[in-house]
Amino acid sequence: MSDMKPYEFTIAQAADMLRRHELTSQTLTRSVLDRIHAVEDKVGAFITILDESAMEQAVSADVLISEGRGGVLTGIPIGIKDLICTEGIRTTCASRMLEHFIPPYDATVIRKLKAAGAVMVGKLNMDEFAMGASTENSAFKPTHNPWDLSRIPGGSSGGSAAAVAADMCLGSLGSDTGGSIRQPSSHCGVVGMKPTYGRISRFGLVAFASSLDQIGPITKDTRDCALLMNALAGYDSMDSTSVPEPVPDYTSFLSGDLKGMVAGIPKEYHASQGLDPEVAAAVRQAVQTLEHLGVRCVEVSLPHTAYAVAVYYVIAPCEASSNLARYDGVKYGFRDVSAESLMDMYRNTRSKGFGPEVQRRILLGTYSLSSGYYDAYYGKASRVRTLIMEDFKAAFKTCDVLLSPVAPTPAYPIGQHIDDPLTMYLSDIFTLSANLAGIPGMSVPCGFTEQGLPIGLQLMGPHFSEGNLLKVAWHFEQSTDFHKRKATL
């Protein structure tokens, strides 16, 4: 490790060195902040960089460590998607609407990271209100993929994935409503997990679609993912959707072997039209690697897969239109002061404060929920959602984990699909169903295209099977080196 720069370390490596007093959090944090300042102009991952408070937290962490009171995250520099509330620190959701919003409280996940002694280096770019799959919908700037700066990093947690891939933090938090952790992780060659609905508290997460939203970690490898899951998972009385299920030590799954494990290969995913041949080949190869490791693979069917996009793009906009009604220029956020009447104030505030994609979602959602249409759209979508859940339930009778692509194509050039929302929506086909069913899913690097763009393998499992997913991903990493490759910047 001696030839590595501190910012290049994984969380586990840095934690070891901190504990052995071969590194201080101040040196590590300085190194990460310098790295951020060296490459941020190219990558554009950050909305807010917290130079001063990060160094202060590093000083406190070093005290804890020197007193032997540190945990594995103490002194570790972490980045946070800018829709997770941070007390006293601007939380914009990459929207003009919340450009100057400073939350008066911390989200539960932030409280947990602080209690663990983690260092917060900044708030990360995203699609506005998490609506998008490319981070091009940020009101402030696009984020660039560290592997090819002309391409999207994926989204909506594009800043979170790009920052980890570019060594601008050791790990980050993202949110996933329909793929927003897994898809950017896949495009940036890092590990990302969307936990089971209810596994991690969403108190302090700015709501997009409340029946789908989950917070989760993005990291350089699977061990780090397990370490962050240990810190984040657990019941929280402040989130009524949080589940009082005991939290295992997720690192305890990173051992043993995969003998006896059965993986389902959903035929609808692998035969999907529009699946890029290089992505298909990499995923096929990954399935073979796992077979060599003792996993038995069986074909399974998820017959309602084709409806996932339609169902999601009714349910998510409906919930968004309701959640975003609070941004009216009165209670908080942007207000248009030029208006002469109350109605004009509402209209102007929401026209100027929200970007085009957010407005499109609000219109779609409001229409679908309006009198006379509710049953035809929201009601129907909810019923098909149940069928999608049943598909998974049936599949998990014959297998422990599902293997599939994360995204149909590798990262595409910035601007390529920005005027074509339907194509963007369709590219979410492999990730939406896990949110609709509430099951955990993760992305682990499984290859590169000829042009050097990362490809991710998606693992999905029954509710609360995160440990099993981590186990499969970790064994996969033990016999491959895709997760070790670095983008050159």
134 is catalytic: no
Give the one residue of 62, 128, 148, 176 binding ligand GLN; rule: CB under 6 A: 176
Reported as type and span, the H/E element at residue 351 is helix 342-353
Map residues 310-349 to x or -, x wherever contact with ligand GLN holds by CB under 6 A.
------x---------------------------------
Query: Which residue in 25, 81, 175, 186 is the catalytic one?
Result: 81
The C-alpha atoms of residue 202 and residue 399 are separated, in whole angstroms, by 30
> Does the annotation count 156 as an active-site position?
yes
| Among 302, 299, 298, CA closest to 268 | 302
Q: Please say which residue, 76 or 424, places its beta carbon nearer to ligand GLN.
A: 424
Residue 130 or 275 having the CB closest to ligand GLN: 130
- Contact residue for ligand GLN among 131, 173, 190, 228 (CB under 6 A): 131
Sign of the torsion angle spanned by Cα atoms 186, 191, 196, 197? negative
Q: Convert residues 268-307 into a mask of x (bound to ligand GLN by CB under 6 A) and - (unbound).
A: ----------------------------------------
Q: Which of 28, 98, 130, 166 binds ligand GLN (CB under 6 A)?
A: 130
Classify 264 as helix, strand or coil: strand
Measured from the CB of residue 289, what is the shortest distance to ligand GLN in angstroms? Answer: 28
Is residue 180 among the annotated active site residues? yes
Sign of CA dihedral 385, 248, 224, 127: positive
Q: Which of 154, 179, 204, 441 lies at the binding interface for ligand GLN (CB under 6 A)?
A: 179
Q: How far is CA 158 from CA 2, 146, 179, 340, in A?
A: 31, 11, 11, 39
Q: Among 29, 31, 92, 177, which residue sits at the site for ligand GLN (rule: CB under 6 A)?
A: 177
DSSP character string of 378-397: IIHHHHHHHHHHHHHHHHTT
Among 31, 57, 92, 156, binds ligand GLN (CB under 6 A): 156
The answer to whether the beta carbons of residues 7 and 35 sit under 8 Å apart is yes
Write down the catalytic residue from 156, 175, 404, 443: 156
Measured distance CA(21)–CA(11) in Å, rounded: 15
> Which one-letter DSSP state was computed for residue 96?
G
Q: Does 84 bind ligand GLN (CB under 6 A)?
A: no
Please identify which residue in 180, 222, 349, 368 interacts with ligand GLN, judged by CB under 6 A: 180
Provide the β-strand partners of residue 193.
442
CB of residue 97 vs ligand GLN: minimum separation in angstroms? Answer: 17
Residue 154 structure tokens: 């994926």
> Within positions 424 to 453, which residues make up the interface with ligand GLN, using CB under 6 A?
428
From edge to edge, which strands make up the β-sheet containing 77-81? Answer: 46-49, 119-124, 77-81, 171-176, 214-219, 191-194, 441-448, 454-460, 401-405, 262-266, 296-300
Q: What is residue 102's DSSP assignment?
A: -
For position 133 contacting ligand GLN by CB under 6 A, the verdict is: yes
Kind and range of the H or E element at 38?
A: helix 25-43
Question: Number of residues in contact with ligand GLN, rule: CB under 6 A?
Answer: 13
Q: Please say whether the beta carbons of 444 and 456 come within 8 A.
A: yes
User: Which is the catalytic residue, given 172, 180, 242, 465?
Assistant: 180
In the complex, least distance from residue 275 CB atom to ligand GLN, rounded to whole angstroms: 17
By CB under 6 A, residue 184 contacts ligand GLN: no
What are the catalytic residues?
Answer: 81, 156, 180
Q: Footprint of ligand GLN on this chain (CB under 6 A)?
A: 130-133, 156, 176-180, 208, 316, 428
